[in-house]
Homo-oligomer: A and B are copies of this chain.
Amino acid sequence: MSGSSERAQRADAQRNVEAILAAAIRVLARDPKASVSVIAKEAGVGRVTLYGHFPNRAAVIAAAVDRALAQTTAAIDAARLDEGDPFEALARLVDASWSVTHQHGALLVAAERILPVDELSFAHAEPMAAAEAVFARGQRSGAFRDDISTGWLVTLLHSVTHGASTAVHEGGIDAEDAPRLILATMVGAVTPPGREVPVVGGQVAESVP
């Protein structure tokens, strides 16, 4: 085999892997139980081609999770969470957490069924650390209440964001309304008792019936 056809083959393989991972993220977001066949079909490749790159369904999902994590890291970096007013940083944290959770939440549900718990803890570790830094900075500055632990605030953001994502999937709330609801909740939750709940970002929209 000539060097150039080898290169062409490698580029082809790379394109297939990209297509498979993108398809896995899309398909698993709709159905966490989706089969390898469904993922291959969505990617426009045959099952044999897919198995040429990934030994089994778990390997596809693990690679898709890695891909999703890289996107998460990029979103967190872009949010510059260590800068500016703590409430405004909280608003950017909520936006980043929401888009990452809502886009990749179903992928993690799929992953929870097959990947070791430790690997998934790792998947949450970086976003959790970023959230913890935002809350700790707000508490140190006196802007956020410090009579509840930073760890609870991290748990809270996680629970509320996942709860909102589930509610959107079940039709209880609109996806475009979710970040505002999460932010309103988190701003109220971090405001020290006896102090006014501030108006942050666009959180106070028109009255909802």
Which A residues are closer than 8 A to B by beta carbons? 145-149, 151-152, 155-156, 158-160, 162-164, 166-167, 172-173, 181, 184-185, 187-199, 203-209
What are some 5 contacts across the A-B interface (CB < 8 A)?
Answer: A149-B173, A159-B166, A185-B185, A191-B191, A193-B203
Partner of A191, one of B156, B172, B197: B197
Q: What's the minimum C-beta distance from A131 to chain B, rounded to whole angstroms?
A: 13
Residues of B within 8 Å of A149, CB to CB, are: 173, 181, 208-209
A148 CB contacts on chain B under 8 angstroms: 181, 184-185, 208
Given contacts A159-B159, A159-B162, A198-B193, contact A147 B185 (CB under 8 A): no
A181 touches B152 (CB 8 A): yes
Extra 13 A-B pairs, beta carbons < 8 Å, given A156-B163, A188-B190: A145-B184, A147-B207, A152-B167, A152-B173, A152-B181, A156-B160, A156-B185, A159-B160, A159-B163, A163-B163, A185-B189, A188-B191, A195-B196
Give min CB distance, A48 to chain B, whole Å: 34
Q: Are A192's CB and B184's CB within 8 A?
A: no
Query: Separation in Å of the A200 CB from the closest CB of chain B?
Result: 8
Assembled-state Cα–Cα distance A80/B141 (Å):
40
In the complex, the answer to whether B160 meets A205 with C-beta atoms within 8 Å is no
Closest partner residue, chain B, to A185 (CB atom): B189
Min C-beta distance of A40 to chain B, whole Å: 29
- Contact with A167, one of B155, B164, B166 (Cβ below 8 angstroms): B155
Chain B residues within an 8 Å CB radius of A199: 193-194
Given contacts A163-B158, A181-B152, A204 and B193 within 8 Å (CB-CB): yes
B-chain residues with CB within 8 Å of residue A206 when the two chains form the complex: 147
- Inter-chain contact A194/B196, CB cutoff 8 Å: yes
List the B side residues contacting A209 at CB < 8 Å. Answer: 149
Chain B residues, CB < 8 A from A167? 152, 155
